[in-house]
Amino acid sequence: MIYSDQFVWLHFPKMAGSAVERIFRSHFRCDRSIVCDFVSPLMVRLRLVEPVWHDSVAERESRRPGFSAAGKTVICGLRRLPDWLYSRHMFEVQRSPALPHRIDRLTEGRFLEHTGAIGFADDYMRKYLPPDLLNSGVVRIIRVDNFRDDFRAAFGEFIDVNRIPECDFSSVRNKTRLSDPLARQTINSHVRRIYESCPYWAEVEANFYPTRQA
């Protein structure tokens, strides 16, 4: 999470969060009005710190009673469901290759997490963009496939976006090095079923994308 007195940015996993964090750490690190969560997967694995950088608004307010998103603009990433599902599945395969990552789960918007739990796309969307927050009128979205323009529009009134070089907007890199054509084909062949299994994601996506991915 990155926040100030004016905005809260939510690090929804697999939504170009690393690109957003990199921009802030590179160009706004000295701005004391902006708070950036300390990100250290190693320290989390060693149980020296809590994995707080993926907090939702509700989780952060519960974890730190002094924190409040009231009166602030909430900014969050978004991508089309099939693309997010494939990205998240491959990320989990990469970090827990010994687990049984069955691709048939993908047809219902589900995937195996590294903890052994079954993740569900709709649960993630409800966690980060619950209906009360989404309908509050304070949410701004950064679509991963329109990263530069959406980033500038979302943050433009809070930071000097003109100091960010163009190359930083074009470096939305996927940390996952693995690919699986069969998993991609399975998702592409069951797009309708996936959306039907994840009605809330479908609803949110329709608010920010003019047409659904075929």
Question: Distance between CA atoms of 113 and 42, rounded to whole angstroms?
Answer: 18
pLDDT at 42: 62
Tell me the three-class secondary structure of 106-143, residue by residue: HHHCEEECCCCCEEEHHHHHHHHCCHHHHCCCCEEEEE
3-state class of 15 per DSSP?
A: coil
d(CA 16, CA 57): 18
Identify residue 22 by its one-letter amino acid code: R
β-strand 2-3 against 7-10: which pairing, if any?
Answer: antiparallel
In the chain (214 residues long), the average pLDDT of successive 10-residue segments reads: 96 93 92 86 57 90 90 97 97 95 97 96 98 94 96 96 91 75 97 98 94 67
**What is the structure's pLDDT at 192?**
97
Q: What local confidence, expressed as pLDDT, does residue 73 receive?
A: 97
- pTM here is 0.91
**What is the pLDDT at residue 112?**
98
- Give residue 214's pLDDT: 60
Which H helix or E strand runs over 77?
strand 73-78
pLDDT at 173: 64
Alpha-carbon separation of residue 55 from 28, 91, 160 (angstroms): 21, 19, 25
Q: Which residue is it, tokens 């009673």?
A: 65
